[in-house]
Structure 1
Protein backbone atom coordinates (compact mmCIF):
# COMPACT_ATOMS: atom_id res chain seq x y z
CA UNK A 1 0.00 0.00 0.00
CA UNK A 2 2.84 2.42 0.81
CA UNK A 3 4.37 1.95 -2.65
CA UNK A 4 1.02 2.67 -4.28
CA UNK A 5 0.78 5.97 -2.41
CA UNK A 6 4.28 6.97 -3.57
CA UNK A 7 3.88 5.72 -7.13
CA UNK A 8 0.46 7.24 -7.85
CA UNK A 9 1.53 10.94 -7.94
CA UNK A 10 4.50 10.17 -10.18
CA UNK A 11 2.42 8.00 -12.53
CA UNK A 12 -0.32 10.64 -12.63
CA UNK A 13 2.18 13.40 -13.49
CA UNK A 14 3.68 11.29 -16.27
CA UNK A 15 0.27 10.37 -17.69
CA UNK A 16 -0.85 13.99 -17.66
CA UNK A 17 2.28 15.13 -19.47
CA UNK A 18 1.63 12.67 -22.30
CA UNK A 19 3.63 12.61 -25.48
CA UNK A 20 4.34 16.02 -26.90
CA UNK A 21 5.70 17.11 -30.23
CA UNK A 22 8.31 19.80 -30.86
CA UNK A 23 5.81 22.60 -31.54
CA UNK A 24 3.92 21.84 -28.31
CA UNK A 25 7.14 21.86 -26.32
CA UNK A 26 8.16 25.18 -27.89
CA UNK A 27 4.85 26.72 -26.82
CA UNK A 28 5.84 26.31 -23.17
CA UNK A 29 7.89 28.97 -21.44
CA UNK A 30 11.64 28.39 -21.69
CA UNK A 31 13.26 26.79 -18.66
CA UNK A 32 16.54 28.46 -19.62
CA UNK A 33 17.43 31.50 -21.70
CA UNK A 34 21.12 32.43 -21.83
CA UNK A 35 23.89 33.78 -24.04
CA UNK A 36 27.06 31.84 -24.78
CA UNK A 37 30.34 32.83 -26.40
CA UNK A 38 30.15 29.65 -28.50
CA UNK A 39 28.74 29.66 -32.01
CA UNK A 40 25.54 27.62 -32.51
CA UNK A 41 27.27 24.61 -34.10
CA UNK A 42 29.85 24.50 -31.27
CA UNK A 43 27.15 24.61 -28.58
CA UNK A 44 25.10 21.94 -30.40
CA UNK A 45 28.15 19.67 -30.69
CA UNK A 46 28.82 20.07 -26.97
CA UNK A 47 25.22 19.05 -26.19
CA UNK A 48 25.56 15.96 -28.40
CA UNK A 49 28.71 14.94 -26.53
CA UNK A 50 27.28 15.67 -23.07
CA UNK A 51 23.99 13.82 -23.60
CA UNK A 52 25.27 10.88 -25.69
CA UNK A 53 25.23 8.38 -22.84
CA UNK A 54 22.01 9.40 -21.09
CA UNK A 55 19.83 10.27 -24.11
CA UNK A 56 21.28 8.58 -27.18
CA UNK A 57 21.18 10.28 -30.57
CA UNK A 58 20.01 13.90 -30.56
CA UNK A 59 18.41 15.40 -33.64
CA UNK A 60 20.39 18.45 -34.80
CA UNK A 61 19.03 20.64 -37.60
CA UNK A 62 19.45 24.10 -39.06
CA UNK A 63 16.83 26.50 -37.80
CA UNK A 64 16.40 30.21 -38.57
CA UNK A 65 19.76 31.85 -37.90
CA UNK A 66 21.26 28.93 -36.00
CA UNK A 67 20.52 25.39 -34.89
CA UNK A 68 17.77 23.41 -33.23
CA UNK A 69 18.62 20.41 -31.06
CA UNK A 70 15.84 17.98 -30.19
CA UNK A 71 16.54 15.79 -27.17
CA UNK A 72 14.66 12.46 -26.95
CA UNK A 73 13.11 11.18 -23.73
CA UNK A 74 15.17 8.74 -21.67
CA UNK A 75 12.99 5.72 -22.45
CA UNK A 76 11.38 6.60 -25.79
CA UNK A 77 12.09 8.49 -28.98
CA UNK A 78 9.47 11.16 -28.21
CA UNK A 79 10.98 14.64 -27.79
CA UNK A 80 11.65 15.66 -24.20
CA UNK A 81 13.43 18.97 -24.75
CA UNK A 82 14.19 21.44 -27.53
CA UNK A 83 17.16 23.80 -27.70
CA UNK A 84 16.83 26.78 -30.03
CA UNK A 85 20.32 28.19 -30.57
CA UNK A 86 20.49 31.42 -32.56
CA UNK A 87 23.61 33.03 -33.97
CA UNK A 88 24.81 36.33 -32.50
CA UNK A 89 27.82 38.42 -33.43
CA UNK A 90 29.65 37.34 -30.27
CA UNK A 91 28.36 33.76 -29.94
CA UNK A 92 24.81 32.50 -29.57
CA UNK A 93 21.59 32.91 -27.63
CA UNK A 94 20.11 29.69 -26.26
CA UNK A 95 16.58 28.88 -25.22
CA UNK A 96 15.70 25.53 -23.69
CA UNK A 97 12.12 24.28 -23.66
CA UNK A 98 11.35 21.08 -21.74
CA UNK A 99 8.29 18.86 -22.01
CA UNK A 100 7.91 18.29 -18.27
CA UNK A 101 9.12 21.74 -17.20
CA UNK A 102 6.62 21.95 -14.34
CA UNK A 103 7.48 18.53 -12.84
CA UNK A 104 10.12 18.96 -10.13
CA UNK A 105 11.30 15.31 -10.25
CA UNK A 106 12.24 15.36 -13.95
CA UNK A 107 15.73 14.17 -14.97
CA UNK A 108 18.33 16.93 -14.62
CA UNK A 109 20.81 15.68 -17.24
CA UNK A 110 19.51 18.12 -19.88
CA UNK A 111 19.86 21.14 -17.58
CA UNK A 112 23.32 20.00 -16.49
CA UNK A 113 24.47 19.60 -20.11
CA UNK A 114 23.00 22.99 -21.03
CA UNK A 115 24.91 24.71 -18.23
CA UNK A 116 28.14 22.81 -18.89
CA UNK A 117 28.12 23.78 -22.56
CA UNK A 118 27.63 27.51 -22.00
CA UNK A 119 31.31 28.18 -21.43
CA UNK A 120 32.90 24.76 -20.94
Structure 2
Protein backbone atom coordinates (compact mmCIF):
# COMPACT_ATOMS: atom_id res chain seq x y z
CA UNK A 1 0.00 0.00 0.00
CA UNK A 2 2.83 2.40 0.80
CA UNK A 3 4.28 2.00 -2.70
CA UNK A 4 0.94 2.96 -4.24
CA UNK A 5 0.86 6.14 -2.17
CA UNK A 6 4.35 7.03 -3.41
CA UNK A 7 4.04 5.91 -7.03
CA UNK A 8 0.64 7.37 -7.92
CA UNK A 9 1.59 11.03 -7.30
CA UNK A 10 4.90 10.42 -9.06
CA UNK A 11 3.16 8.96 -12.10
CA UNK A 12 0.65 11.81 -12.19
CA UNK A 13 3.42 14.40 -11.90
CA UNK A 14 5.36 12.86 -14.79
CA UNK A 15 2.42 12.84 -17.17
CA UNK A 16 1.49 16.52 -17.40
CA UNK A 17 -1.10 17.78 -19.86
CA UNK A 18 -1.19 16.57 -23.43
CA UNK A 19 -3.20 17.59 -26.46
CA UNK A 20 -5.01 15.30 -28.87
CA UNK A 21 -2.36 15.89 -31.54
CA UNK A 22 0.46 15.05 -29.09
CA UNK A 23 -1.29 11.85 -28.05
CA UNK A 24 -1.90 10.93 -31.70
CA UNK A 25 1.83 11.33 -32.47
CA UNK A 26 2.69 8.51 -30.07
CA UNK A 27 2.75 4.92 -31.28
CA UNK A 28 -0.60 3.15 -30.97
CA UNK A 29 -0.98 0.95 -27.90
CA UNK A 30 -3.58 -1.11 -29.77
CA UNK A 31 -4.24 -1.64 -33.47
CA UNK A 32 -7.05 -4.06 -34.32
CA UNK A 33 -9.83 -4.79 -36.79
CA UNK A 34 -13.46 -5.16 -35.76
CA UNK A 35 -16.55 -6.39 -37.56
CA UNK A 36 -18.43 -3.36 -36.20
CA UNK A 37 -18.83 -0.17 -38.19
CA UNK A 38 -17.09 2.93 -36.75
CA UNK A 39 -20.17 4.49 -35.15
CA UNK A 40 -21.25 1.14 -33.73
CA UNK A 41 -17.81 0.66 -32.15
CA UNK A 42 -17.81 4.25 -30.81
CA UNK A 43 -21.26 3.70 -29.26
CA UNK A 44 -19.98 0.54 -27.55
CA UNK A 45 -17.03 2.51 -26.12
CA UNK A 46 -19.43 5.18 -24.83
CA UNK A 47 -21.47 2.56 -22.99
CA UNK A 48 -18.43 0.79 -21.50
CA UNK A 49 -16.72 4.00 -20.34
CA UNK A 50 -19.78 5.97 -19.20
CA UNK A 51 -19.27 5.21 -15.51
CA UNK A 52 -15.52 5.75 -15.34
CA UNK A 53 -14.91 8.51 -17.93
CA UNK A 54 -18.24 10.22 -18.60
CA UNK A 55 -19.29 11.31 -22.07
CA UNK A 56 -16.83 10.72 -24.88
CA UNK A 57 -16.18 13.25 -27.62
CA UNK A 58 -16.97 11.71 -31.02
CA UNK A 59 -15.76 13.59 -34.09
CA UNK A 60 -16.53 12.58 -37.68
CA UNK A 61 -13.43 12.04 -39.82
CA UNK A 62 -12.94 11.49 -43.54
CA UNK A 63 -13.20 7.69 -43.37
CA UNK A 64 -14.70 7.12 -39.92
CA UNK A 65 -14.70 8.74 -36.50
CA UNK A 66 -12.26 9.90 -33.83
CA UNK A 67 -13.19 9.24 -30.22
CA UNK A 68 -11.53 11.33 -27.52
CA UNK A 69 -11.58 9.94 -23.98
CA UNK A 70 -11.22 12.35 -21.06
CA UNK A 71 -8.72 11.82 -18.26
CA UNK A 72 -10.05 10.08 -15.20
CA UNK A 73 -8.91 12.53 -12.50
CA UNK A 74 -8.19 15.80 -14.33
CA UNK A 75 -9.10 17.73 -17.45
CA UNK A 76 -7.74 17.03 -20.90
CA UNK A 77 -7.63 13.98 -23.13
CA UNK A 78 -6.37 10.60 -21.91
CA UNK A 79 -6.78 8.55 -25.07
CA UNK A 80 -7.67 8.90 -28.73
CA UNK A 81 -9.32 6.24 -30.87
CA UNK A 82 -9.04 6.59 -34.64
CA UNK A 83 -11.71 4.33 -36.10
CA UNK A 84 -11.73 3.99 -39.88
CA UNK A 85 -14.39 2.38 -42.03
CA UNK A 86 -13.51 -0.86 -43.83
CA UNK A 87 -15.54 -2.99 -46.21
CA UNK A 88 -16.47 -5.45 -43.47
CA UNK A 89 -16.20 -3.36 -40.29
CA UNK A 90 -13.53 -1.00 -39.06
CA UNK A 91 -9.87 -0.65 -38.20
CA UNK A 92 -9.14 0.78 -34.77
CA UNK A 93 -6.03 2.46 -33.44
CA UNK A 94 -5.81 3.45 -29.78
CA UNK A 95 -3.32 6.09 -28.69
CA UNK A 96 -2.96 6.63 -24.92
CA UNK A 97 -1.50 9.63 -23.11
CA UNK A 98 0.56 7.70 -20.57
CA UNK A 99 1.20 4.60 -22.61
CA UNK A 100 4.65 4.08 -21.09
CA UNK A 101 3.46 4.14 -17.45
CA UNK A 102 2.67 0.58 -16.34
CA UNK A 103 0.41 1.59 -13.43
CA UNK A 104 -2.08 3.55 -15.55
CA UNK A 105 -5.82 2.80 -15.36
CA UNK A 106 -6.77 0.04 -17.79
CA UNK A 107 -10.47 0.84 -18.22
CA UNK A 108 -9.90 2.34 -21.69
CA UNK A 109 -7.92 -0.66 -22.93
CA UNK A 110 -10.45 -3.08 -21.42
CA UNK A 111 -13.36 -1.28 -23.10
CA UNK A 112 -11.48 -1.25 -26.41
CA UNK A 113 -10.94 -5.00 -26.21
CA UNK A 114 -14.50 -5.79 -25.11
CA UNK A 115 -15.98 -3.75 -28.00
CA UNK A 116 -14.04 -5.51 -30.76
CA UNK A 117 -16.62 -8.27 -31.16
CA UNK A 118 -20.01 -9.10 -29.77
Same fold, TM-score > 0.5, yes or no: yes
What does residue 105 of structure 2 align with?
Answer: 107
Q: Distance in 2 between matches of 1:57 and 1:85?
A: 17
CA RMSD of aligned residues (A): 1.5
Secondary structure of residue in 2 paired with 1:19: coil
What does residue 34 of structure 1 align with?
Answer: 32
Length, aligned pairs only: 118
Q: Distance in 1 between matches of 2:96 and 2:88?
A: 26
Q: CA deviation at 1:76?
A: 2.2
Q: 1:1-120 maps to which residues of 2 (within 5 A)?
A: 3=2, 7-120=5-118
Q: CA deviation at 1:64?
A: 2.2
Q: CA deviation at 1:15?
A: 1.4
Q: CA deviation at 1:7?
A: 3.6
Which has the larger displacement, 76-85 or 6-15? 6-15
Runs of 4+ with >6 A deviation: none
Q: CA deviation at 1:77?
A: 2.8
> Normalised by the size of structure 1, how large is the TM-score?
0.92
